[in-house]
């Protein structure tokens, strides 16, 4: 029987790349995001390319009731979730602490922290009933080191790190693995969202480096999920070759 992965934030970036990777590897996928048109398009493409089933599930991870309703109303066969890629998240703004927008902070906390908790708890209950499962939370190297103007985005990812550690302890009795993946700079829609559609500033983040791609991270997620039952990668950090941590880059000079 095919395995099932539940991916939040599958309309772009890491989540979309993971849907492509896991579908290609024969997983049936529950894919989530708020943009229903993109989800449906991805579902149509993957079902026509691979011998798998894809279930699009539109909801906002910030909305606890919507999360629980969507997961409770899954058809019984889709509740046998093997892997949760708890990935939906965002950064909004890159501003000094005293100048940042409170609305941006609220959305980051509601999405990156509360969203991870809402989806994580609902799915962990299903996994606990089966006595197995694997939860892969999306952290960041921003959850390991704070950088200038990173304040609340970093805080939200430090929280994901702590939540992952807590889940790992509390879910041990149910045989559930918990992994926290911590990527560095990756070129997805992340920076475009962070800089609110300012494509020039978004692109400048990747000046002089070959950043990670969604597919690079999806490969790592798949690797973590394909190890023997008794083996769990707890934390995994991944950067491109030209990045050492959140601050140190070796950028190739611009060509004249």
Annotated active-site residue 206? The verdict is no
Among 4, 6, 11, 133, binds ligand NDP (CB under 6 A): 11
Beta-strand pair 83-86/4-7: parallel
Nearer to ligand 8X3 among residue 148 and residue 252 (C-beta):
148
- Could you tell me which of 22, 34, 163, 38 has the C-alpha nearest to residue 83? 22
Which among 153, 206, 223, 248 is annotated as catalytic?
153
Residue 212 interacts with ligand 8X3 (CB under 6 A)?
no
**Cα→Cα distances 74→68, 71, 120, 125, Å:** 10, 5, 15, 13
Nearer to ligand NDP among residue 72 and residue 129 (C-beta):
72
Site stretch for ligand 8X3 (CB under 6 A), options 65-73, 117-125, 134-142, 211-219: 134-142
Chain centroid to Cα 184, Å, comes to 13
Residue 185 interacts with ligand 8X3 (CB under 6 A)?
yes
Contact 36, 56 (CB under 8 A): yes
Number of residues binding to ligand 8X3, judged by CB under 6 A: 7
- Sign of the alpha-carbon torsion through 46, 52, 58, 59: negative
Nearer to ligand 8X3 among residue 79 and residue 194 (C-beta):
194
Residue 15 interacts with ligand NDP (CB under 6 A)?
yes
Residue 239 interacts with ligand 8X3 (CB under 6 A)?
no
Residue 188 interacts with ligand NDP (CB under 6 A)?
yes
d(CA 78, CA 74): 6
Q: Please report, as ranges, the residues that interact with ligand 8X3 according to CB under 6 A.
A: 140-142, 150, 184-185, 246
């Amino acid at each position: 029987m095919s395995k099932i992965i539940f991916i939040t934030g599958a309309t772009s970036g890491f989540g979309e790349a993971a849907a492509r990777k896991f579908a290609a590897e024969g997983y049936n996928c529950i894919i989530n995001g708020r943009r229903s048109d993109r989800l449906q398009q991805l579902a149509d493409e993957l079902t026509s390319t691979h011998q798998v089933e894809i279930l699009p599930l539109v909801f906002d991870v910030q909305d606890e009731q919507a999360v629980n309703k969507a997961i409770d109303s899954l058809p019984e066969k889709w509740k046998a979730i093997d892997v949760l890629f708890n990935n939906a998240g965002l950064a909004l703004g890159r501003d000094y602490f005293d100048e940042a927008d409170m609305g941006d902070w609220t959305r980051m906390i509601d999405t990156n922290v509360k969203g991870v908790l809402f989806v994580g708890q609902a799915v962990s209950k299903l996994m606990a009933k089966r006595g197995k499962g694997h939860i892969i939370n999306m952290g960041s190297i921003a959850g390991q080191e704070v950088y200038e103007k990173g304040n609340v985005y970093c805080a939200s990812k430090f929280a994901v790190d702590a939540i992952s550690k807590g889940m790992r302890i509390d879910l041990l009795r149910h045989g559930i693995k918990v992994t926290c993946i911590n990527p560095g700079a990756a070129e997805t829609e992340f920076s475009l969202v962070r800089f609110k559609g300012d494509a020039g500033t978004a692109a400048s983040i990747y000046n002089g480096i070959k950043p990670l791609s969604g597919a690079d991270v999806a490969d790592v997620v798949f690797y973590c999920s394909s190890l023997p039952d008794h083996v769990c990668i707890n934390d995994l950090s991944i950067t491109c070759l030209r990045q050492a941590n959140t601050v140190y880059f070796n950028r190739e000079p611009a060509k004249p």
